Structure formats: structure tokens, C-alpha cells
Amino acid sequence: MMKVRNSFTLASTLVVSAHLLSSCIDPFEVNVNTPQPIKVDLTMDVNVYQHGTATEKEGAEAAADFRAAMDRRRDRMTEIQELKNNRLVGENRSGALSIKNRPAGEYGDYVEKTVEAENLDRELLMRHEAEEKSLTVEKVREEQWRHWQRKSFPGEWIEVAGEDGTTYRWEQKRAATE
């Protein structure tokens, strides 16, 4: 009972003290009027931008096509190498694949479809590179032809330039001589 009485006494003392303090303070007025109206000098520039133009959309679509082609080629890499190892396809002078020995039946159809898909993706990537580097597509094809000749393993089919530089022939890549 003593604890309740002390709490009650303390609470009532605080209330009375707050009332006394608030009644002693006179509120005072603060004048917020200005003798002259407030002037605002505002200068503004308005810039209008149009987003999503046809060129930007085409660029975004081209970038998406580029990434998709890269992904498809990466997914197909093992299949292409297997076809090269089996001496069914080779790297031609256009930076693309050519079928050297088409198997019969469904497997031959599979080889054709795989080579066609690979060549479509390579063509898309070469055109993208030509545009990006401001080169002709023919120049990029030649660079790719040289690249794939270097990357080919011994025994794989590659198309090479003849001695006169105007003719081409197929040969199996030889091992590097030391």
C-alpha cells in the first residue's frame, strides 16, 4: 500500500508543477509579416528528351541478338569440335564451317542443321564486329578465317590459299613443326 501511495503522490506533484509552470509563462507574439512583398526571381530551363527511339530499340535488339548468338555458340562448342574431330566439317575461307563428309541418314541431317545454325550465328557476330570496328564484312571474314586456321587442331580440315593467292584448297592441318 505504501508503494501505491508514493507513486500517486509523485504523479500528482508532477501534474501540479507542470500546471504552475505553464500558467506563469506569458505567450508572446512573433510578427511574420514583411514590410514589402517577397519577390522571387525564377529562371528555368526545360529540356525535353525522347526515350525509346527506334535507333535505341534497334541497338538494344542487336545487343540481345549478339548475346544470344554468343550463348548458342558456347552451347554448341562441344558438338562442333566433335564434328571436326570426326573430320566431317572444316573451317572455310569465309570464317564459316563447310561439310566435308556428310554422313548418311538422320545423323547427316543433324550435321547439316548444326553447321547451318553455327554459320548463321558466326555471320551475325561477324556483321556485328564489322559494324563495331567500322570494317567491311569481307575483312572480318578473312580475320576469322585466319583465326580459325590457327585454332584448328592437327588433322582438322581447313581451307588454305594456293601459292598464287587466288585459289584455295582443302587440306588437313599439319602438326606445328619445331
Question: pLDDT tens digits for 104-143?
Answer: 999 999 999 999 999 999 999 999 999 999 999 999 999 9
pLDDT grade for 50, boundaries at 50, 70 and 90: low
Per-residue pLDDT at 76 exceeds 70: yes
In a domain, 16, yes or no: no
Do 88 and 103 form a contact (C-beta atoms < 8 A)? yes
Cα atoms found within 13 Å of the Cα of residue 176, Cβ hemisphere only: 6
Paired with 172 in beta bridges are 157
Please give the average per-residue pLDDT across 25-40, as a whole number.
75
What total of structural domains would you count in the chain? 1
In a domain, 35, yes or no: no
In a domain, 46, yes or no: no
Tell me the H-state helices in 25-104. 54-85
C-alpha cell at 139: 575483312
In a domain, 123, yes or no: yes
How many residues would you count in the chain? 178
Do 163 and 156 form a contact (C-beta atoms < 8 A)? no
**Residue with the larger pLDDT of the pair 2 and 113:** 113
In a domain, 15, yes or no: no
Do 144 and 152 form a contact (C-beta atoms < 8 A)? no
In a domain, 108, yes or no: yes
In a domain, 157, yes or no: yes
Do 58 and 107 form a contact (C-beta atoms < 8 A)? no
Domain carrying residue 66: 57-172
pTM of the prediction?
A: 0.64
In a domain, 121, yes or no: yes
Q: What's the CA gap between 77 and 35, in Å, rounded?
A: 82
Nearest one of 70, 80, 136 to 111, comparing CA atoms: 80
